[in-house]
Amino acid sequence: MLNLVIFGPPGSGKGTQSAKIADKYNLCHLSTGELFRKEMEKGTLLGREVEKYIDKGLLVPDEIVLRELYRRASDHLDSPGFIFDGFPRTLVQAETLDRLLDKKGIPISLDISVVVEEQELFKRILGRGEDSGRSDDSVEIAKLRLNVYKEQTRPLLDYYSGQGKIVSINGMEPVDRVFEKICLAIDTYLVSRKVIPVVE
């Protein structure tokens, strides 16, 4: 089983890369952001609940995220693996995910960290907002989301580094080039179980 976490600030291209990775390695793509947006579009109880946080650029509380992720992951336990996109975002989420996967004997294989400069992140988020109409892609909310990332999510890099599972990828390059590097890291892991810490 191949279990991947893709990790990076808003606008780093996690969603695009995850879809490509899921397709190539036949993994179940679990994006908590996408899951919440679909519920918001449908106007469900869950959608209305998470909207309060998402529209303010805040993280959805751990208990909601974990409950929904567990529900979705349980439906796909027969898949060859998972790519977790936008999850975990807090230490509680990371530790809970580890406990859950360890219990099932299917731990995280690699944590792919996509690194993009802040100025470029803003450019991409605001450009995306024009096309997607995402309620959280405005200038004010983008600033907040980046701060939330720095304070609550970036510390997870230390958590996964401590486990020797981090692969750092320069996300400033074109989509296909970034994807090639990610595949190199995954293929190396699959063949030799070795983790390349930085792919230049």
Q: Which residues bind ligand AMP (CB under 6 A)?
A: 10, 32-33, 36, 53-54, 58-60, 65, 86-89, 93, 136, 145
Total residue length of the chain: 200
Residue closest to ligand AMP, measured at CB: 33
> How many CB atoms neighbour CB 63 within 10 A?
10
Q: How far is the CB of 155 from ligand AMP (least distance, A)?
A: 14
Which of 54, 110 has the CB closer to ligand AMP?
Answer: 54
Measure Cα distances from 30 to 22, 65, 75, 125 in Å: 9, 12, 11, 21
- Cite the active site residues: 14, 89, 128, 134, 145
Nearer to ligand AMP, 76 or 134 (CB): 134
Which residues have C-beta within 8 Å of that of residue 105, sequence separation ≥ 6?
none
Which residue's CB is nearer to ligand AMP, number 135 or number 188?
A: 135
Asked if 123 contacts 171 with a C-beta cutoff of 8 angstroms, the reply is: no
Shortest distance (Å) from residue 134 CB to ligand AMP: 8
| Residue position matching structure tokens 């099932």 | 104
